[in-house]
A and B are shown apart, each in its own frame.
Chain A
Amino acid sequence: MNRHGQAKPPRIAGVQTSSGGAMDKLREFYLGKLGGRIDALEMAKSELAQSPARAWESLELIAHSLKGSGTTYGFPEISEAAGALEESLPETRAETLNRLLRVLHGIRDSASKQKTSILIVEDDPVNALILKETLSAPDRDIHIAETGEQARKLIGGQVYSVILLDLMLPDMDGRSFLMRLRENPKTAFLPVLVLSGKLGELTKRECLSLGADAFIQKPIDHEAIRTAVDSAVRQGARGPGLEPPKESWTPVSGTIGGTPPQTHPILVVDDDPLIAKIIRHRLEKEGYRTLWFADGEAALNAIQSQSFLMAILDVKMPMMDGFELLGRIREFPATLALPILILTSLGKEQDVSRGFDLGANDYLAKPFSPVELLARVRNLLRMK
C-alpha cells in the first residue's frame, strides 16, 4: 500500500497540454516492468497445452491488467492486443497471445535502443530542414529551434546528444548562447558544433575557446557535417558524464585524461562533484593536470606531501570551509606563495575581501564562465 498524504508532489506547469518529465519517468517505470510481464506470459503460454484452465487463469489476469494500463501509459497497442487476448475464444487464444507477446517485445526492444536527440539551432528554415534531412536516421530525433530562446526551452526539457548552432540567431549571438551552454552544468560537456557563414580564423578561435567542439563553415558540405555529427554522437556517448564520481566525498585524485605527470597538478577543492568536474574538464582540456578533493582536511594532507601549480578553492564547503583551508595553507612555508583562486558566491563581496585578507590571489564568483576561469588561471600562473 502506498500513501501519498500531506506531502503533495509539486504541480507541474502546463500539465494539461504536455505530460512533462514526471510522465516520462512513469513510462520508464512501466517499461521496466514489461520484462516481468513478458516472462509471466511466456510461462503461462508454455502451460497452455497441458493445463489450459490454469494457464488461462493467469493469462487473463495479466491481459486484463495490461489492457487497463497500456493506453494510460501511452501504449494503446498494448491495451488493444491485451484486450483481444482477454476476450479471445479458446481456439484463437494461442494466436492472440503470440500477438500480444510480439507487441510487448517490440515495445521493449525499441525502448532499450536509446534514441539520439540532436538539436539544430538555426533561424533559416530552409537551412534547418536541409540539415535535418542530411542528419536524419531511424535512431535519431532531430529538433529544430529557430531562436536562442526556443533552444533554451528545448534544452531545459530534455537531454540532447549534440547541438548544431548557427552563430547568427535572431534574438542573440550564437557565441553568448554557447557561453551560457557551457556555464550550465547540464550542458557543460555537450558536444556543440558551430555553423557559421562568417569567414575568419578569429571567429573560429573565439568559438573554440568558448567551448565549441567543432567549427563548420557554411555553405555546408553534407558529407562533412554527417561525419562531424556522427563523431560527436560517439564522443558524447563516452565523454565525461555528469554523474558525480562514485568515490566522491572521500579524497579523490587522478586525472581525467590520464596524461603522464609532466608538471605539478592544479589543486581543486570543491564539495560539489559536478562543479569540480566542470573545472577539471576545462583545465585538463587546456593541458593542465588536476587533483580534486571534496573536503579541506584531505586537501591539506595532500598539500603537505606534494607540490601544486596552484589551488582553486570553493569558499562554501561543509566541515572546513574555503577560508579556513586558505588560512591553513598559508601557514606552511612551502605554500606561502602558492597561487590561490577562491570561488565565491555571487553578491558576497565581503567574502572576496575576507579571501584577499587571508591570502587569496584572485577570486571568481559563481556561477562563472569556464572561459573566465581559464583566463584567470593563466593569469595567476603567469604572475607566479
Chain B
Amino acid sequence: MRILMVDDDEEILLVAAFALGQDPRFAAVFTAQGGASGLEVARTEAPELILTDFRMAGLDGLQLMKAIRTLPGMAMTPVIFCTGKRQPEFLRNCLEAGAAGIICKPFHPLTLADDVFRIVRDGNILVPERYGN
C-alpha cells in the first residue's frame, strides 16, 4: 500500500516516515509538508491512503481532503486525520465530511502503522491517544 503523510511539522513527518517506512505493508511512504504540497504529491503519486494533520496553514486537512476527492481516481481514497483535537463535535464533523477515521495526536511512533490499518481494515474510526492520560 502506498501512503501519503501530510503535516505542517517537519518533526512529525520525520517520525511518521520512520514509523511507516519500516512496516512492510507499506510499499511506499510519501511525506508532504503542508496542505498545498500534500495536494501536489497526491496528484503526482496517486497514493492509496492519505494520513493528514488537520490544522495546517493554507490548506487545512478538511480542504485538502475535499481537493483530493476531485483528483482523477481518488474520489474514494481513504483519508485519515491525525489531530490533537478531541472535541466530539469536531470528530463527528470530520467523519461526516468523509474522513475514514481519526488518529489522535500525539500518536505513538511504534503503533502508528497498526493504527492506520485498524482504521482501513477494521473500520475502527477513532484511535485514541496511545499514551494514557
Contact = CB atoms under 8 A, between A and B. Distances in A.
A12 B109 CA distance: 13
B13 A2 contact: yes
Contacts of A30: 11
Given A8-B28, A65-B9, A72 B15 contact: yes
A10 B22 CA distance: 6
A112 B119 CA distance: 39
A67 interface: yes
Given A11-B23, A16-B110, A71-B106, A4 B17 contact: yes
Contacts of B13: 2
B14 A15 contact: no
A71 B33 contact: no
A6 interface: yes
Interface in A1-21: 1-6, 8-12, 15-16, 19
B105 interface: yes
Contact of A72 (B22, B37, B53, B106): B106
Contacts of A73: 11, 15
Contact of B41 (A1, A12, A64, A65): A1
Given A33-B11, A68-B106, A76 B131 contact: yes
Size range of the chain B interface in the assembly: 35 or more
Contacts of A70: 106
A5 B30 contact: yes
Contacts of A9: 18, 21-22
Interface in B84-133: 84, 105-110, 129, 131
A1 B31 contact: yes
Query: Which residue, of A16, A68, A71, has the highest number of chain B Cβ atoms within 10 A?
Result: A68
Contact of A15 (B22, B31, B55): B22
A129 interface: no
A16 B27 CA distance: 19
B103 to A, nearest CB: 11
B33 A2 contact: yes
A332 interface: no
Given A15-B22, A73-B15, A4 B84 contact: no
A96 interface: no
Given A1-B41, A2-B31, A19-B110, A68 B22 contact: no
Given A1-B31, A3-B41, A72-B107, A11 B14 contact: no
21 contacts: A1-B41, A2-B13, A4-B28, A4-B30, A9-B18, A11-B22, A15-B110, A19-B109, A22-B22, A29-B11, A65-B9, A68-B53, A69-B11, A69-B15, A69-B106, A72-B105, A72-B107, A73-B11, A73-B15, A79-B106, A83-B84
Interface of A: 1-6, 8-12, 15-16, 19, 22-23, 26, 29-30, 33, 64-65, 67-73, 76, 79, 83
Interface of B: 8-9, 11-15, 17-18, 21-24, 26-33, 37, 40-41, 45, 53, 55, 84, 105-110, 129, 131
